[in-house]
Structure 1
Amino acid sequence: MTKFHECMSEFFKNGKPFFAVIFIQFGFAGMDILSKAALNEGISNYVFVVYRHAVATILMAPFAIIFDRKIRPKMTRSVFIKIMFLALLEPVIDQNLFFMGMKATTATFTAAMTNILPAITFVMACILRLEKLNMKGIRSQAKVVGTVTTVAGAMVMTLMKGPIIELFWTKERTFHEVANHVDLRHSLKGAIMIAVGCFSWSGFMVLQAITLKSYPAELSLTAWICVMGTIEGAIVALIMERGNTAVWALKWDTSLVAVVYTGVVCSALAYYIQGIVMKMRGPVFVTAFSPLSMVIVAVMGSIILAEQMYLGRVMGAIVIVAGLYLVVWGKSKDQEVESLPVSEELKESCNDKITTGKGSDEASDNHNRLNGLA
């Protein structure tokens, strides 16, 4: 393993992975604002996706070639097929549906809908046994309750207003309330698109965690996803925008900024960072922080834009933080139990002595110890 990977692994191991996923959520919060502005200026969502992953490929490919040359596994047919599906699920299906749903609704509505992501990912991970779930154990109960709580908090933050809270940095400043009028005839279509996109996004997270087990080179996997995402996205764009060559022209405006920003932060860095974190904590840990982006947008909007802060938003933010704490606590206890070297010995001791009927007292003690850890 190269020094680069050793340093990164040590950082994520000792520097608490939640700092990394918080960084990703800050990046996604910026993406929502810039992407909506770019779409309003008329950029095609299909072309936007292609350019975004072309930028990510240009950024990640050199790093993958240099730093992964000693640890990159041999590319097999099975791994390549998984990479093709990864590129189809997130860069093509999810992102196009996400942006199309945002066009039909509003950025706020889109952010609210994406908060179903943690719940979907949790169910998928449990079905595929990527997430350990024992409802008799306090750790599993904390993860389930925490996931439900974060989603509930996001809904409260979106749907509940309440009285305005006067903050010292917004006092005596002019408030500009921007009303996004949405045609109700298109809102249902937009909601369905976003929901399907969330299922695709969850599938991407779970499949990425599975692929990393057989192809444990995060930089190379990220570069491959971006390359295939560019190719597959270009095929879709050429079909959907056939005969309209003007949509491929980029101007020196918000669209260019959005393409570069989302390519670097939300594709290249996000895929790579979440890959490292998922190897240690699993896909549920990464997606559990998704509702945090709503909190970030609300706080930054209040400070920078002097937007009105409502009591409902503050209450929702508090609920989200409480839910995230439960998930993080449950996952941290998982790590503690998995790091215990005697756990397998205890299991074998319990099984052997219960089967033979010998040492029933000792087996009972060991069994109780295991239950206490669970």
Structure 2
Amino acid sequence: MEQKKSSIVLVLREFKPHFLMVLAQVGYAFLYFITEASFNHGMSPFLYVTYRHIVAAVVMFPFAFFLERNERPKLTFALFMEIFVLSLAGISVPINMYFASLQYTSPTFVASIVNVIASLTFIIAVVLRYETLDVRDPRGIAKVTGTMLSLSGVMTMTLYKGPTMRNLWHENWLKGSLLAVISCVSWSVWYIMQAATLKRYPAQLSLTTWMCFVGAAQSAVFTVLIIGHKPSAWTIGFNIDLWSTLYGGIVIAGLIIYIQLWCTEKKGPVFVTMTTPLCTILAAILAYFVFGEKLYLGSIIGATFVIIGLYLLLWGKEGDQKIHINTKPCSGEDPECRLQSVP
């Protein structure tokens, strides 16, 4: 009996990251629809991002303060400026653009296009020599093929809506698509930049709290420039605007980001990224069956290319990870190790 219980505990411990990442993608899928409802109600995406990260910073602060008080390094001015740039690249710029794009496109589209982040991160990593590429190796070929397929899929979703499309160049769809693509590029840069910061500031809760706080302040500047500083423009009622803000701050920017960091530490960034297409599928199912959203041919074709390309890229990356695990310890000075540290 004791042996059986021990086996069950081991199985649950082994599959805990899988269960948590599935929950995380479910949370992300619902995010698209609750924020779209809030934006349709009249809330500014810039105001939403500002309030969401204020909520996240307030919620995360006590956990970071007490749980990491013996692990948190001293925050120097240079390190704070590094966090400032990280917040700009990973929170205020891409998230504002991302949710602004939701006003012009659809939840299915933005859930699909985010899958290209893995491919963009790979390209930037190769250019900066954080990533090795051997085109003579099958896994190297898979990386290149997967990257090209993913980017082709994004271009298809951006430029080709489907049979019901009228003149795309005169619609807001193109504007929203470009905003989403720019946000994905910014996130990819952020993933690369985070590696070095985590080496100098390995307190994940504290780093998340700081980025939420600084990102909220940066977003507040954007909000003032866009909607002004009148109190009436900054007021939200006891309605969908408040609920979407609390959901985005507590569940997404707080709980799910921490889950991703924990799973990255346990299973690596490749594992975390592999669950991303699940959000696309869940969002499409919800959009079609629950919210009655139309599925366009361009979105289906593009999303298929993106997901196939993503898994080809991840298959190639998984081989790299196995090589590092089996052949040598991870050194802090090794660029490959720095890339593997990115959440």
Cα distance change, pair 265–153 in 1 and its aligned pair in 2 (3 A): farther
CA distance in 2 between counterparts of 1:316 and 1:98 reads: 18
- 1:186 matches 2:133: no
**Cα displacement string for residues 79-127 of structure 1 (whole angstroms, at most 9, x for unaligned residues):** 2112101211232111211222222333344344444323221111222
Q: Secondary structure at the match of 1:251?
A: coil
Task: Report the counterpart of residue 101 of structure 1 in structure 2.
Answer: 101
CA distance in 2 between counterparts of 1:248 and 1:52 reads: 13
- 1:260 matches 2:246: yes
The letter of the residue matching 1:71 is E
Q: Give the fraction of aligned pairs with identical amino acids, expressed as a percent.
A: 34
Task: Report the counterpart of residue 248 of structure 1 in structure 2.
Answer: 234
Tell me the number of residue pairs that the alignment of Structure 1 and Structure 2 aligns: 320
CA distance in 2 between counterparts of 1:156 and 1:182 reads: 12
CA distance in 2 between counterparts of 1:126 and 1:280 reads: 25
CA distance in 2 between counterparts of 1:183 and 1:105 reads: 14
Cα distance change, pair 58–23 in 1 and its aligned pair in 2 (3 A): same
CA distance in 1 between counterparts of 2:16 and 2:147 reads: 20
CA distance in 2 between counterparts of 1:318 and 1:31 reads: 22
The 8 Å contact of residues 108 and 287 in structure 2, kept in 1 or not, is answered as: no
CA distance in 1 between counterparts of 2:224 and 2:328 reads: 57
- Higher radius of gyration, 1 or 2: 1
Cα distance change, pair 118–333 in 1 and its aligned pair in 2 (3 A): closer
TM (norm. structure 1) is 0.70
CA distance in 2 between counterparts of 1:135 and 1:237 reads: 46
The 8 Å contact of residues 116 and 306 in structure 2, kept in 1 or not, is answered as: no
Give the drift of 1:316: 7.0
CA distance in 1 between counterparts of 2:191 and 2:258 reads: 12
CA distance in 1 between counterparts of 2:106 and 2:300 reads: 21
Cα distance change, pair 12–265 in 1 and its aligned pair in 2 (3 A): farther
Query: 1:1-374 maps to which residues of 2 (within 5 A)?
Result: 14-15=14-15, 20-150=20-150, 184-278=170-264, 286-287=272-273, 289-302=275-288, 304=290, 322-341=308-327
Task: Report the counterpart of residue 165 of structure 1 in structure 2.
Answer: none
The letter of the residue matching 1:259 is T
CA distance in 1 between counterparts of 2:155 and 2:266 reads: 29
Cα distance change, pair 206–86 in 1 and its aligned pair in 2 (3 A): same
CA root-mean-square deviation: 3.9
Q: Secondary structure at the match of 1:104?
A: coil
The letter of the residue matching 1:202 is S
Cα distance change, pair 15–68 in 1 and its aligned pair in 2 (3 A): farther
Cα distance change, pair 81–280 in 1 and its aligned pair in 2 (3 A): farther
Structure 1, unpaired ranges of 5+: 1-9, 163-178, 345-374
Structure 2, unpaired ranges of 5+: 1-9, 331-343
Give the drift of 1:289: 4.7
The 8 Å contact of residues 212 and 275 in structure 1, kept in 2 or not, is answered as: no
Cα distance change, pair 139–279 in 1 and its aligned pair in 2 (3 A): farther
Give the drift of 1:57: 0.9
The letter of the residue matching 1:214 is R
The 8 Å contact of residues 154 and 291 in structure 1, kept in 2 or not, is answered as: no
Q: Secondary structure at the match of 2:39?
A: helix
CA distance in 2 between counterparts of 1:141 and 1:12 reads: 36
